[in-house]
Structure 1
Amino acid sequence: MKHPYLSGLFLTLFTLLGGAGLSAQSQTITGTVEDADGPLIGVSILKKGSSSGTVTDLDGTFTLQAEPEDILVFSYIGYATQEVPVGDQLNLSVTMDIDANQLDEVVVVGYGSQKKSDLTGAVSQVSGTELGKFPVANATESLQGRMAGVRIESAGGAPGAGAFVTIRGSGTLSNAQPLYVIDGILTGSMDNLNPADIESVSVLKDASASAIYGSRAANGVVIVTTKKGSPNGGLTIEADLSAGVQSSINRIDWANASEYALIRNRANDNDGTNRSPANDIDFDPNTDTDIQDLSLRTGAIYNTGLRLSGGSEMFTFSVSGNYLDETGVVRESSYNKANVRVNSTFTKGRFRLEESIGLTRTENNPNNYFNSERDILPTAAFRNPDFDGGYAATSDPTGSTAIHGVGNMRNSLAQAILEDRTITSNGILGNVAASFEVIDGLTYKLSVSLDQGNTNNYRFTPTFFFNATSVGRQNFAELNETNSNFTSTIIENTLNYDRELAGRHRINLLAGYTRQVSSGRTLGIIARDFPSNSIRVASTAQNLASAPSFEFKSALLSSFGRVNYSYADRYLLTATLRRDASSLFREDLRAGVFPSVAIGWNVGNESFFNSDGLINDLKLRLSYGEIGSNNTQAYEIDPVLNLFSEYPLGSGQVRQTGYSVTRGVNDAIKWETTTTTDLGVEASLLDSRLSVTMDYFIKNTNDILVRLSVPRFTGFDNDPTFNAASIRNKGFEFGANYGKFTGEFNWSLGANFTILNNEVTDLPSDPIVGGQFTSNGLRSTLTDVGQPIGSFYGYEVEGIYQSDAEAAEDGRTDARAGDFKFRDINGDGMVTDDDQTYLGSPIPTFEYGLNANFFYRSFDATLLFNGVAGNKILNANIYRGYFDTEGNYLADAVNAWTPENPSSSVPRNTLVDQAFNRRTSDFYLEDGAYFRLRNLQIGYTLPQSLLAGTGALSKVRAYVNVQNLFTITDYTGYYPEAGRNSRGGTNIFNAGVDESAYPMPRTFMFGLQLGF
């Protein structure tokens, strides 16, 4: 595959390199770095505002190229960071001082930043340096395993697949995604952000930290700050080029042709029905189609990034571009994404102007039929030029002749090949802000933000024939195309007052007003009966089937205030109040007021605290707050009218056209309300090399919006919404980081874990049934009081009946030898619906992450692990592979119970299933626990002494990265992260139901990082 954009990039890169080389006044700087005890090994030395630099050697010395206007930043774990201007110095001597207070790093929070020692809320932060180490395609996935209390669930392994983020458990029955704030812009995702553009990511987890964002923050807040230019002058150029291959981690063991024949015929024999065909040898021995082998392939991924930055004291800039091209491990799936970001600041006296603009374009070609791969039997050919479309069919056009008695299977891979489907999205995320310091400490800021996107979903299905059923043939070509536009604008005014009084009192006051208007529109067309498959213009179609459309508009007006107070750097207070008014509610119910308060105690700053002991610093904090959520749709409180209802009137019952209300409404719905209580401890130990954070939290959500069923004789075809449910999440979080430098070998370790309990505490009526995983509507989950959301519910299997008499003794007139023996929960001597019980939860009770960094001279290695435990997954392949009457079987179905194989845990092969073996039971459930090496990277950085002669290169680093190298799990599906409906849905009641999710790939990449 050729990529012409690569040659263009290299041409641009070297053109810029030439210009940079002519303008730079580079000089060789040498020096030593030491502390009170002598030379320090492995001290990081970077030119401020860039990623170029070096580290000290075994003698604490260093050499690098720098310009007189550069500022060198010296950093070392456990020591205070120092900045040294180069000027006319050619030899530097730097002495590092121990930083006893590791809690004083700056953390980005809502509408500003704070020293970590001043924080009273639960906030976790990860630097862009850590996130950018691994070349991931999706910025959200770079957070996996990084923070306690933050669960990242992959939406699948398909190219361009996003991720679901849940902070401290789901507190609602619908959309539980957090609010994202990217450079001050409120939006709904960070999936399209280029990971290399990220400076830092902060996650606000409790009400004290997130209440400043009000109703948008009920599910937590993710604040992303992108990279800016440095005010040190000069131009910095950074390039990152990577390429790799990927393959499916594992495969499902489906039956081959001979195994299928044995299973199918055995099922006919067990049911007392005729074989089709009559015996095993009638299956064509020359046909053995492995549809999985035909569907899976080796994919490829290419990623190219370039960033230019620089500036002066008055003006800074950062311009970056990135292009990602990925072909998936499943045929007919691919994705590409282009990003451009421009950040700049202008400062003159008390005035400051800043802008952040990101442009994104994605093109996704999905294969939506992979989870139907087993529809193709191993005994059927894949291609056949005699049929429309050129692929094999399972019956003739009349339907009178079926292959092996199975006539309604469709060739899902062939349909993916024949269809032309492209989803193209364009987006802009921009912010312009002007601030002015009115008086010392008092700053007014006006910010205008735009979040705008357009998505075109195009699908053309040509004519084809797979079988004589309606789902297996396409008699006419069809064009289905929708175009969706979304726009959100925010105008925000804030006043910030920050002063220190009398040397002991520090106060920060924030007040603001925000107006957000969101609108969207979707227009679509379905056109059928084209002159030929090659003509795909809607105007040429003979039948315009429909033109679906949708439009909405909503507004949110907010005012807010916050007080941060610190006394003597020991006693801390934060109080926040926000009022939101949403157009989604009735006028008298639109406003919601949400307060929070938090206190903190820096014990380490007390005179009685001995910072030279085991514990070097200690802080305690406690918070309580309330946040709302307008978790509903536009026009939910407005009735929907059908303009073409027919009413039979008069003695002749003549039908008259008129209006009817088809959707029941409840205009009394109001805000969902979430209250959180958080108790936290932060400490540094062992000469501040070990930092520890612990939190215990309780999050209660009340007045949750839920749809309640109404009788259909009311004329309503949609259920109205009520504030009627409650959910509690409580848990414990732990995070720790440790760094140690010994000689020329340096290393650091990080670990975090979360213990979570999710419980539904109130429901309005009957439990909510969900988790459909079969075409006949078999359900698997039940949301009920006292259990987690979407818990698995069904029968417990005690074993298999070994004789007809044993089944009769249990009163099972429907069962015989080889059928499941279900547990009689209530002991009434019968197995009925009343014997269904709680079988487990798809929500992990324990999640953890581990990361390690190792440095040896010019070599570096980074590892990132993550895992979960305490959850179950419903493997729908077990149902389909053992019990479904159509499609292929799992190879293990060969080992089903027979009189000769009585120890099998798989019930007898049958097509009739008189004993209801296929009903939802724990037979389908598997342990969802896993431990995964998510990323491994090994790199080598050329020494500065080798680059000094180039005159321009300041950094050359090569690396090899492996993603998903290994996974330890007992789950037998494609991958154990099927945390959502694997058909791509976001229905929380289908969490943990795996319907052959797109395989998670293992990716091997080689990369090159250059600095100039």
Structure 2
Amino acid sequence: MGGEPSTPQSSTPITSTATTPSAATPAPQPAAPAPAPGQGTGATQPGPGGNRTGKVIDRASGTGLPGVNVAIKGTTRGVSTDAEGNFRLQAPDDAVLVFSFIGYRPQEVAVGGQTSLNVTLVEDVSTLNEVVVTGYATQEKKDITSAVTVIQTKELLSVPAANLGQQLQGRAAGVQVLQDNSPGGGASIRIRGFGTLGNNNPLYVIDGVPTRENLNNLNQNDIESIQILKDATSASIYGSRAGNGVVIITTKKGKSGEPRLTFDSYYGTQQPTRYLDLLNTREYGEYLWASKRNAGVVNPANGNPQQAQYGNGPEPVIPAFIVPDGASADDPRVARNPDGTYRNYSIDRFNDPLFGSQRFQITQANAEGTDWLREIMTSAPIQNYNIGLSGGTEKGRYALSVGYFNQEGIIRANGFKRYTLRANTEFTIKNKVRVGENLQLVLAQRTGGFRNEGTEGNGILMAIRMQPIVPVYDVAGNYAGTLGSNLGNAKNPVALLERAGQNGYRDLRALGNVYAEADILKDFTLRSSFGLDGTIAYGTYYGIPEPEASEPVRTYSVRKDGQYRYSWTWTNTLSYKKTFASVHNVNAFVGLESISAFGEFIEGFRDRYYSGDPSLLYLDIGDQATQTNRNYAFNDYRLFSYFGQANYSYRDKYLFQATLRRDASSRFLAAQRYATFPAVSAGWRITGEPFMKGIPTISDLKLRAGWGQTGNQEIGDYNAYTTYAADFDRGGYSLNGNPNAYNTGFAIQRFGNPNARWETTTSINVGLDAGLFNNALEVNLDVYERKTTGLLYTRPRPATVGQGDLPAENVAAIRNRGVDLQVSYRGKALDNNIRYTVTGNFSTYRNQVLELNPASPNEPLLGLGSRLPAVTRSVVGQPISLFYGYIIDGIFQTAEEAAAAPQFPGYNDAEVVINGQRVKGVGKFKYRDINNDGQITADDQAFIGNPHPKFNYGLNVSVGYKNFDLTVFGQGVAGNDVFNYVRYWTDFNTFQGNRTKDVLYNSWTPENPGAKLPILDENDAISSRASSYFIEKGSYFRMRNIQLTYSLPKGFGSRLGLNGGSLYVQTTNAFTITKYSGLDPEITLRNSSATGEDRQLGVDEGRYPTPRQFLVGLNLAF
């Protein structure tokens, strides 16, 4: 009895099964009769701590289950089953073993002196027993009384992306993702609407370390679980930082058992999905001639339009060359040498004295037309590789991983690489003390010049503005451009992007924490954790001469910048967990937390380098006279908090939670520094009542309600103080009276507001959780209201203030009301040969500004203007960032109609030529006179569109048959508008760039009175003003992912140590259904991490489009 332990084959086994198996699951067929749960048969009786062996079997298939957690209840000791489902564990006779595995119902088995225990697990179609991280503690999902959404990691990884935020799109009700699709781009996550006029991004907590850094530095393969805290009841434990919700990310940890090696990879290609239908060279000439004729801009000698490139005939003629202007093939300026080279060719624009008079950058016209969007867009690879190793013993566990991600952009010369290293270890000391660490090191590199920053110099807008007659390269193979007359001022987008291909930055980020926890007394656990999030970044940006451009960069230059930023978090908690009389469950904790953050930026610039060789472009080599530099701290604040939470349940039917947090922030002066954030919630599990026992259809039914407050302090670190900056122009003064000897002084940079206080968001949430048909169908419904008061708002600076910006003040309020619905169904069909899961979510919110600067209640908050003045504005009584402009009621058909309408000076009284006759206003937009004063002025602008969708939705369907699984996931929004800013460049005569085909074929003519665009008119500078013409329907449905997976048969490759694996093929963004005419109906913000970027919500300024991807992936486990 005291010798070697018996094997499962040499002793009589114990079999334990679930007490309430699914009706769809066949009865088990154990090797021996099954005893009552927790009881054994015919076993030997070893002494305390004897060896226990056994096997865990899947009830449906009868095969062993690998990776099942086998733990001694009430301790952290445990192991995992091997590839065949076997386990070996030392446990005392009075121990209870807990068997748990994702997707199966957990089992508890009393050892009772047994040496061999065979356990049968039943698949669990319910997620109610799932353990959820809800802040500084965990709860079973069935006990949660607040609005928490759990995201399955498997679903996230089915969508390949550099940024976790992009993978969250469509996965959770009430969560909206505005994603930057450029390689390495960020994502703006909005939880339950928009609660502030500043930064609406949520708080991210990674392994207990809070951060607001970009999620593109996180390796998604390292993630174990994700929880989204959506209401104040769940998020208030994070107090001041949780006003916009919280995303909790927990990474994988080591488990006891044999070493487990995993390899996960995919490789694929990305493709553009859409292009704009622009004019070719011939059509562009016809457009020019029509615009000139209608405007009466013709040669008085012959009555024909004329243009330097297309001639002066009755019809435009495409020249052989555009540099020199309109040259024919026999023009002596383009004569060739005997070797075929061009005699007068020169590229030395900035040094050749004969350049432009006798020598030229000779460029042939592209008679067919250059499709510039297709020139800058291309297929591009994407690849990802991860290796993980985990294992350990009861005394120590480890999880290690390395990862490599590489995504090249579908817009040329852009890319993102990421290298990751992660380590997690945990050690148990005498069963009462646990110490460990989570550490991630990330090296990220982003290259290229394309940024979604709303600038008209990005590659997409340059491709739209470049005329089709210009080729990519000149006759010598150098970049062609706009040196010729009447070619506009755009820059060759291929040259622009490829020259910027060397630009970019590198980030080295360290993120993690060390912790220790001890069971100091019975039912009490003390935990201390110290976390750090630090980044060192280095960027280099080159200026390269552009001899082909009409407005060129003339010299080599370099700008280099560097920054470091860090935040540390020290958290200490004392938790208590106790059950009284088997019916009263208490779980509580209190804690203290300190946070400190700092960041510093430095930048230097020099110009006039003699060479463009990057190895020579150091700052000290450039012209010292062109030197500029700056250095400042951009992040400097402290936060101190104490908090507590108590959970109580009675018979698992009546659930209560209370939370209190008090924060102090250095961003406010002492009188306003502290704020308190309480929250309470309650739940009633109706199915626990006796009167529900006779309703077998309803497996679980819970009502819950909560109220709570959270805060926001996302303003400048020095908002309370008046700050000054060195300023030679405004603060300089000559102390000795010499006008040539000024001393640099200081000028006000920003006025301080010592009375600023916390924003406060009050949230009310009422929810219903239901499980039907043995929890095969689960429904989660939430109705909520979020109201933010004391909102920190920076008022527009009046001219009377003079220099210096105004501080943020507590003068605004915003409210969001909405509904979140999540539904899932899991089942089997065809004698259990088909397994399927259907998950859907639906959400809607209504946003309203309640208060905005009471001192000037009619003053709107304007959006971010560019060529056009701000096209969005926020006012009291409306949602934030509605589109604003003129309303168009059609097009004038006759001069009489135009004369009788309210007058728009310089527009509907302007002359055009139709069939040789000069008339006024015909073919022009008919603007609505909003105030009925008989004139069209700026006062006649109104709200013309709404960027907020009426609802968001997502649908995921998974079907499995034997070793095959097919997953289909789609997501969409409905009822929102888009302001298509790109039309400013493509549909009007504002600049000398290309146009859409609608401009030529759908502009007003007498033969086309129902056209959507006004008459072509070279002199028209008004039709391009912000108006309802720019508004398009932004609704879309996008097939996000289609994936077919084949799981390797059990036992395949066992001789090589293979313990499982799968092979899959997939396509992402397979198709999109939308009426939007732009490149992509998903409109990201200018900058995903900047404060106030929501003021440009829904404005398409030429954003990076979503690529379609085709991938092959392989996952292996050893």
TM-score > 0.5 by shorter chain: yes
Alpha-carbon separation, structure 2, partners of 1:74 and 1:67: 14
Alpha-carbon separation, structure 2, partners of 1:99 and 1:393: 65
Alpha-carbon separation, structure 2, partners of 1:847 and 1:415: 37
Partner amino acid, structure 2, of 1:745: I
Matched, 1:475 2:554: yes
State which of 465, 482, 485 in structure 2 corresponds to 1:394.
482
- Aligned pairs for 1:132-281 (under 5 A) are 132-155=157-180, 157-189=181-213, 190-231=215-256, 233-274=257-298, 275-276=306-307, 277=310, 278-279=312-313, 280-281=315-316
State which of 712, 735, 742 in structure 1 corresponds to 2:822.
735
* Equivalent residue, structure 1, for 2:667: 584
Partner amino acid, structure 2, of 1:889: R
- Structure 1 residues 887 and 684: CA distance shift in structure 2, 3 A: same
- What whole-Å deviation, never above 9, does each CA across 1:163-195 have from its counterpart, x for those lacking one? 111111110011111111111111114332111
State which of 317, 334, 348 in structure 1 corresponds to 2:415.
334
Deviation at 1:689, TM superposition (A): 0.6
State which of 845, 870, 893 in structure 2 corresponds to 1:756.
845
Deviation at 1:577, TM superposition (A): 1.0
- Aligned pairs for 1:545-624 (under 5 A) are 545-551=627-633, 552-610=635-693, 612-624=695-707
* Equivalent residue, structure 2, for 1:872: 977
- Structure 1 residues 904 and 510: CA distance shift in structure 2, 3 A: same
Matched, 1:426 2:426: no
Q: Tell me, what secondary structure is at the counterpart of 1:595?
A: strand
State which of 641, 647, 669 in structure 1 corresponds to 2:724.
641
- Structure 1 residues 611 and 650: CA distance shift in structure 2, 3 A: farther
**What is the identity percentage for the equivalent residue pairs of Structure 1 and Structure 2?**
33
Q: Tell me, what secondary structure is at the counterpart of 2:982?
A: helix
Partner amino acid, structure 2, of 1:708: R
Alpha-carbon separation, structure 2, partners of 1:413 and 1:847: 37
Deviation at 1:779, TM superposition (A): 2.4
Deviation at 1:983, TM superposition (A): 10
Q: Tell me, what secondary structure is at the counterpart of 2:677?
A: strand
* Equivalent residue, structure 2, for 1:893: 999
Task: Indicate if the aligned counterparts of 2:125 and 2:826 stay in contact, CA closer than 8 A.
Answer: no
Q: Tell me, what secondary structure is at the counterpart of 2:198?
A: coil
State which of 432, 440, 443 in structure 1 corresponds to 2:525.
443
* Equivalent residue, structure 2, for 1:358: 440
* Equivalent residue, structure 2, for 1:461: 543
Deviation at 1:650, TM superposition (A): 12
Task: Indicate if the aligned counterparts of 2:525 and 2:576 stay in contact, CA closer than 8 A.
Answer: yes
Alpha-carbon separation, structure 2, partners of 1:178 and 1:611: 44
- Structure 1 residues 433 and 817: CA distance shift in structure 2, 3 A: same
Alpha-carbon separation, structure 2, partners of 1:533 and 1:68: 65
Alpha-carbon separation, structure 1, partners of 2:740 and 2:154: 74
User: With structure 2 as the length reference, what TM-score do the two structures score?
Assistant: 0.81
Alpha-carbon separation, structure 2, partners of 1:48 and 1:744: 23
Task: Indicate if the aligned counterparts of 1:571 and 1:601 stay in contact, CA closer than 8 A.
Answer: yes
State which of 587, 598, 602 in structure 2 corresponds to 1:508.
587
- Structure 1 residues 773 and 907: CA distance shift in structure 2, 3 A: farther
Alpha-carbon separation, structure 2, partners of 1:514 and 1:984: 25
Deviation at 1:537, TM superposition (A): 1.4
Number of residue pairs the alignment of both structures matches: 958
Partner amino acid, structure 2, of 1:880: W
* Equivalent residue, structure 1, for 2:67: 48
- Structure 1 residues 49 and 162: CA distance shift in structure 2, 3 A: farther
834-843 or 930-939, which deviates more? 834-843
Matched, 1:704 2:777: no
Could you tell me which runs of 5 or more consecutive residues in structure 1 were left unpaired when the two chains were aligned: 1-24, 52-61, 396-401
Q: Tell me, what secondary structure is at the counterpart of 1:418?
A: helix
Task: Indicate if the aligned counterparts of 2:818 and 2:846 stay in contact, CA closer than 8 A.
Answer: yes
Matched, 1:110 2:135: yes
Alpha-carbon separation, structure 1, partners of 2:1109 and 2:493: 26
- Structure 1 residues 315 and 912: CA distance shift in structure 2, 3 A: same
Matched, 1:128 2:153: yes
Deviation at 1:99, TM superposition (A): 6.6
Deviation at 1:101, TM superposition (A): 7.2
Q: Tell me, what secondary structure is at the counterpart of 1:474?
A: coil
724-733 or 984-993, which deviates more? 984-993
Partner amino acid, structure 2, of 1:48: G
Q: Tell me, what secondary structure is at the counterpart of 2:1086?
A: coil
Alpha-carbon separation, structure 2, partners of 1:130 and 1:42: 25
- Structure 1 residues 65 and 26: CA distance shift in structure 2, 3 A: farther
- Structure 1 residues 42 and 1001: CA distance shift in structure 2, 3 A: farther
Alpha-carbon separation, structure 2, partners of 1:911 and 1:216: 54
- What whole-Å deviation, never above 9, does each CA across 1:777-826 have from its counterpart, x for those lacking one? 33211111111111111122111111222111113363111111122233
Task: Indicate if the aligned counterparts of 2:472 and 2:479 stay in contact, CA closer than 8 A.
Answer: yes
- Structure 1 residues 336 and 96: CA distance shift in structure 2, 3 A: closer
* Equivalent residue, structure 2, for 1:675: 762
Alpha-carbon separation, structure 1, partners of 2:125 and 2:418: 45
* Equivalent residue, structure 2, for 1:808: 899
Partner amino acid, structure 1, of 2:658: A
* Equivalent residue, structure 2, for 1:322: 403
Alpha-carbon separation, structure 2, partners of 1:619 and 1:802: 64
Partner amino acid, structure 1, of 2:192: R
- Aligned pairs for 1:48-127 (under 5 A) are 48=67, 65=84, 68-69=87-88, 80-82=105-107, 95=120, 103-127=128-152
Partner amino acid, structure 2, of 1:536: L
More strand by share: 1
Alpha-carbon separation, structure 2, partners of 1:632 and 1:554: 11
Deviation at 1:659, TM superposition (A): 4.2
State which of 591, 596, 609 in structure 2 corresponds to 1:530.
609
Alpha-carbon separation, structure 1, partners of 2:742 and 2:543: 39
Deviation at 1:132, TM superposition (A): 2.8
Matched, 1:844 2:869: no
- Structure 1 residues 945 and 430: CA distance shift in structure 2, 3 A: closer
- Structure 1 residues 855 and 85: CA distance shift in structure 2, 3 A: farther
RMSD: 3.1
Partner amino acid, structure 2, of 1:797: I
- Structure 1 residues 44 and 560: CA distance shift in structure 2, 3 A: farther
369-378 or 247-256, which deviates more? 369-378
Deviation at 1:833, TM superposition (A): 2.4
Deviation at 1:867, TM superposition (A): 0.6
* Equivalent residue, structure 1, for 2:1013: 906
* Equivalent residue, structure 2, for 1:487: 566
Alpha-carbon separation, structure 1, partners of 2:997 and 2:684: 62
Task: Indicate if the aligned counterparts of 1:801 and 1:819 stay in contact, CA closer than 8 A.
Answer: yes
Task: Indicate if the aligned counterparts of 2:558 and 2:606 stay in contact, CA closer than 8 A.
Answer: yes
- What whole-Å deviation, never above 9, does each CA across 1:507-534 have from its counterpart, x for those lacking one? 1221111111100000000111112112
Alpha-carbon separation, structure 1, partners of 2:1072 and 2:507: 33
- Structure 1 residues 826 and 606: CA distance shift in structure 2, 3 A: same
Partner amino acid, structure 1, of 2:779: V
Q: Tell me, what secondary structure is at the counterpart of 1:316?
A: strand
614-623 or 215-224, which deviates more? 614-623
Q: Tell me, what secondary structure is at the counterpart of 1:523?
A: strand
State which of 922, 928, 946 in structure 1 corresponds to 2:1034.
928
Partner amino acid, structure 2, of 1:439: L
Alpha-carbon separation, structure 2, partners of 1:128 and 1:254: 42
Deviation at 1:93, TM superposition (A): 7.2
| Greater C-alpha radius of gyration | 2
- What whole-Å deviation, never above 9, does each CA across 1:938-961 have from its counterpart, x for those lacking one? 01112114334x251111311001
Q: Tell me, what secondary structure is at the counterpart of 2:439?
A: strand
- Structure 1 residues 642 and 611: CA distance shift in structure 2, 3 A: same
Q: Tell me, what secondary structure is at the counterpart of 2:690?
A: coil
User: With structure 1 as the length reference, what TM-score do the two structures score?
Assistant: 0.90
Matched, 1:692 2:779: yes
- What whole-Å deviation, never above 9, does each CA across 1:567-621 have from its counterpart, x for those lacking one? 2211111111111111111122111111111111111111222364332211111
Alpha-carbon separation, structure 1, partners of 2:553 and 2:592: 56
Task: Indicate if the aligned counterparts of 2:687 and 2:701 stay in contact, CA closer than 8 A.
Answer: yes
- Structure 1 residues 563 and 664: CA distance shift in structure 2, 3 A: same
Task: Indicate if the aligned counterparts of 1:44 and 1:75 stay in contact, CA closer than 8 A.
Answer: no
- Structure 1 residues 612 and 44: CA distance shift in structure 2, 3 A: farther
Matched, 1:377 2:467: yes
Deviation at 1:208, TM superposition (A): 1.0
Alpha-carbon separation, structure 2, partners of 1:607 and 1:984: 52
